[in-house]
Structure 1
Amino acid sequence: MKLKNAGYYIVLFIILTGAITTSLFIVNSCSEEPKNANNIVIAQEESSSSSQTSNSEDEKFSSNDPALIVQNQYRKIAKANLPSVVHITSLVEQEVPSLPFFFPFFGNLPQDPSQKRKVEVFGSGFIISKEGHILTNYHVVNNVKDLRVRLMDGSEFEGKVLGTDQDLDVAVIKINPAGKILPVVKLGDSDSLEIGDIIFAIGNPFGLDGTFTQGIVSAKGRTSLGINQYENFIQIDAAINPGNSGGPLLNIKGEVVGINDAIYSQTGNYAGVGFAIPINIVKKNLNDLIAGKPIEYGYLGVSVMPMDNDKAEYYGLKQPTGVIVVSVEPNSPASKAGVKNLDVILTYNGKKINNAGELSFYIKDSKPNEKVTLQVLRKVEGKVKTINLTVIIEKRQSSNLSQQKPDNWLGVLVGDLDDSLKEKYKQWGVTFGVVVLAISNKSPAAQLGIAEGDVIYQINDYEIKSAEQFYQVLDKVKTTKKIVILINRRGSSLMLTIGR
């Protein structure tokens, strides 16, 4: 997997107290050394003695000075939004597998795969209604107990999870304000963001409440990162760290334009690359989340591959653009609309397609029964023509995956290859195995790059013939020093290795 091979890790911004309490204690202890206290006093005295010089320097600044105007705007944004950001704590029972790619972030936790332990988790959230609705990340509140919400003024409330979506990694929780007037954020327009725009992040990194940091939008539309199933991230360089999960990303007007979600890091801490979920995606599905309804995602029914220079030349393109259709599912919206293998999808409802991740995002972002237009490049008898196809998007069939959750250490849900699936997969040489139906976000399977639709046909020396056998074998091998998983992915054989 690209992220793993590069030596980087996607890190979620929740804190497990067992992993960081010691570090925080050391910091506090050091700050209490008498020598440090004396240094602080001396510094204060020196600062006081030079106050007249500082005042005279301040007089040189005009109230219209650009630096002061910007600083005052920063202050206004912080003052207006800090009270709306909350500190979320909960207890979660975790099973920590002994896998090397967890070491940088979870290195202090017990590494026995069979051992479970209750840990306290910290995260962030922000108030979106006077009635006490709070937005945060799914991974902050997933499978937690004793959910507590603390406001900036120190008041504390019991929290209740109303709705969640794992694919998007968002959740809505609610507190009962009991007559208390709650400060509420203003939701902005994430589509209006441009690269280079000034942004702000608020959260509770390392449990430090109300931390306010500033940066810029580094990139937009980041997909295929392996963080969530539904990705279209805003990339930022504002400092965010463990504990920032679920906190707001603000624009220069002080409006929420995203939910801080993950960082790209070798150490598990800030490295200048962070990712936030665009708020427009969340707003579109907010009513369903509040009502506890599952979010309905669109379904097209195609598999695609990226365009490169050689393939672009074949299609007569001056540069690589679009994605190439490699398979069309029978009776799918794409099939009904006339999409064919080797078609090049150039645009989706007028939006240019640069990679598979973008297409996947646009499809999922469409609602069932919505009509969309695909601009397709098709080569017929040596001639290339561009055609427009109207597709009626259907509801994604989840096979009740919202009710079925991977509950094994690998983090995968698999199903048997029934006759219809065998017919579909035989074109790729699949004769036995189990098909991957779902993957838990941030699980070992996700880190390895296992994808939905993969066929797992062998683990170590065990050939996998059924879902029941798969789970039995998974339980047998979890304590072995090396685990080898063989996968068929659309005719390509992959060997994934887990070592201790």
Structure 2
Amino acid sequence: MVPGVTGMRPASAAVWRDAGSRAALRVALAAALGVASMVISPLGALAQTREVPQGRSEIQLSFSPIVKKVAPSVVNVYGARVERQQQNPLFEDPFFRRFFGGDFGVPRERVARSLGSGVIVDPSGVIVTNHHVIENMTEVKIALADKREFECDIVLRDPRTDLAVLRIRDKGVKLPAMELGDSDALEVGDLVLAIGNPFGVGQTVTQGIVSALARTQVGIGDYQFFIQTDAAINPGNSGGALVDMKGRLVGINSAIYSRSGGSVGIGFAIPAAMTRVVVESARNGGKMVKRPYFGGRLQAVTADIAESVGLERPTGALVAELRPGSPAAEAGLKRGDVILSVDGQAVDDPDAFGYRLATRPMGGQATLVVQRGPRKETLKIRLAPAPETPAREAVKLPQRTPFGGATAANLSPAVAEELSMDVAGSGVVISDIADGSSAAQVGLKKGDVILAVNGEKVATSRELDAALSRRARYWEITIKRGEEVFTAVLGG
């Protein structure tokens, strides 16, 4: 406080009685202005750093150079399937047909269609898109940004990753391909572009940032490890490109989180590392993607488990079960080990481990760092496909039974992997079911393990086929579905 000044009040209420008081006021104001100048001066310094743009190049910042580079590689994908629809059985009655006329009993055809996006990843005409875009489709066509159209063959379907690979039928045509980038190098906050065909309106580009990495529990495919972005993604963008600032493909746009069906700034893309595995399998002539087999069951690490093994926080994948003779058992893993990383890439949970292992190249070994009690261990795991032992011996089951339209196979680690089953025991499993078949109508599902038919145990696909070949008025079937075992009685 300055001598003579008892307090700060509005100027209109102040009363100064003499020259001494006025002098004191001048001192107080000078002091106040000095303090104010010290507070304001840093802001003034910041204001002085602002400059007028020195040319057009500093004003016209744009993503157009990237878009011009990558847009020709993004295509529209059109799928179609012809469905035969049987009319109501009433229309087959002769009296009804004579009275009403017309070809009521003739099955009618309906064309089911799908629309999405895709990305050219090889100049010879290899395109990657989402599996759900072409699921159940028999005819596929792509349209380029320059209006050219090509018929395509479906080279590979991989529902486990929700990816599919197409190839144009025209030989000798060179198409503009997009370079695959390193999705593992992405960081939260990186700028990205999403390119696709939302709502079928035509090619569209939106811009955003990487909002998060390694998102799990999205509910798409078996490998839950997604790039999250706030770039606007809408229906029709599925299969389109997520592109970094160097014009490289870092993800395939697959899903959005939305209550209304439109974009709310939460979109998910499959990382390019997984895309590369699927594309390479297709290039090598595979109809199915083969991935390294682990041979064990994992579970998430809770806070209590982390404390018991000496971890600072709940992270990693806990080994809960090992299968004899599997790569996991051969590597020296033990129950209770916590896997922390694969080839130097951190593992936060079992989903992250599944993704990291699935993106390792077949052959050779991968390095695992595990927490075992109070110390860390480094182990090597063999990168080999799941064995098909016993032999598959797939059998199409008799049509005149409730199993008509189903295919059964002997259960092996390879078959269990394909069907996303947790445990590969022994027995006979339903490996495929035709749409609209008797098996589908009675509620059988892929992955059901058939234990017995009419009280007779079945251990192989041949035994199941033989049991169903006998005539019966009814069928008593014992099924294992997941961890549940139940018996159903079906009419003959």
Class of the TM-score when normalised by the shorter of the 2 chains: 0.5 to 0.7
Choose the corresponding residue for 1:306, options 293, 300, 309. Answer: 300
Greater C-alpha radius of gyration: 2
Structure of greater relative contact order (alpha carbons < 8 Å, 6+ residues apart)? 1
Whether 1:340 and 2:334 are equivalent positions in the alignment is yes
Distance 2:430 2:367 in 1: 30
2:386 corresponds to = 396
Q: Kindly tell me: are residues 415 and 253 of structure 1, through their superposed partners in 2, closer, same or farther at Cα, counting changes over 3 Å?
A: same
> Matched residue of 1:216: which SS?
strand
Aligned to 2:160: 167
| 1:371 lines up with 2:365 in the alignment | yes
Structure 1 position 439, deviation (Å)? 11
The one-letter code matched in structure 1 to 2:79 is S
Shift of 1:216: 0.9
SS in 2 for 1:220: strand
SS of alignment partner, residue 191 of structure 1: helix
The aligned runs of 1:164-243 (5 Å cut-off) are: 164-175=157-168, 182-243=175-236
Which residue of structure 2 aligns with residue 79 of structure 1? 68
Whether 1:253 and 2:246 are equivalent positions in the alignment is yes
Separation of aligned partners in 2, 1:463 and 1:268? 49
CA distance in 2, matches of 1:226, 1:438: 22
Deviates more, 1:60-69 or 1:165-174: 60-69
For 1:300 and 1:432, locate their aligned partners in 2 and report how far apart those are by CA, in whole Å: 18
The answer for the alignment partner of 1:89 in structure 2 is 78
- The question of 1:63 aligning with 2:52 is answered no
CA distance in 1, matches of 2:196, 2:158: 21
Q: Does the CA contact (< 8 Å) of 1:131 and 1:176 recur in 2?
A: no
Task: Give the deviation of 1:91 after TM superposition.
Answer: 0.9
In structure 1, what is the Cα distance between the partners aligned to 2:171 and 2:426?
Answer: 58
Relative to structure 1, is the Cα distance of residues 391 and 438 closer, same or farther in structure 2, using a 3 angstrom cutoff? farther
Change (3 A) 1:335 1:239: same
Q: How does 1:284-363 map to 2 (within 5 A)?
A: 284-293=277-286, 294-363=288-357
Q: CA deviation at 1:267?
A: 3.2
Match of 1:277 among 270, 278, 281: 270
1:125 equivalent to 2:118? Answer yes
**Cα deviation, residue 376, structure 1:** 2.3
Matched, 1:385 2:375: yes
Q: Deviations over 1:4-28 (max 9, x none)?
A: xxxxxxxxxxxxxxxxxxxxxxxxx
Give the letter for the 2:382 counterpart: I
| CA deviations over 1:330-377 (Å, ceiling 9, x no partner) | 111111222111122222223222100011112222334321222222
List per-residue Cα deviations over 1:448-473 (Å, max 9, x = no partner).
xxx9989799xxxx99987979xx9x
- Write the distance in 2 (CA, Å) between the matches of 1:404 and 1:79: 52
Q: 1:386 to 1:493 in 2, by over 3 A?
A: farther
Amino acid paired to 2:313 = Q
Which 5+ residue runs of structure 1 have no aligned equivalent? 1-59, 96-114, 422-427, 441-450, 473-484, 495-500
Report the TM-score when normalising by structure 2.
0.63
C-alpha separation between the residues in 2 aligned to 1:84 and 1:77?
Answer: 12
Q: Is the 8 A contact 1:188 1:257 kept in 2?
A: yes
SS in 2 for 1:314: helix
Question: What CA deviation, in whole Å up to 9, does each residue of 1:295-347 have, x standing for no partner?
Answer: 22001212111111112221222221222211111111111222111122222
Query: What amino acid is aligned across from residue 324 of structure 1 in structure 2?
Result: L
1:93-139 CA deviation, whole Å, 9 max, x = no partner? Answer: 689xxxxxxxxxxxxxxxxxxx9953111111122333322222222
Question: Closer, same or farther in 2 for the Cα pair 1:78/1:370, shift >3 Å?
Answer: same
SS at match of 1:125: strand
TM-score by length of 1: 0.62
CA drift of 1:231 comes to 3.6
What is the identity, as a one-letter code, of the residue corresponding to 1:345?
I
Unaligned runs of 5+ in 2: 1-51, 85-107, 397-401, 416-421, 435-444, 469-478, 487-492
Distance in 2 (alpha carbons) for counterparts of 1:488 and 1:65? 62
8 A Cα contact 1:367 1:395, kept in partner: no
Worse overlay, 336-345 or 360-369: 360-369
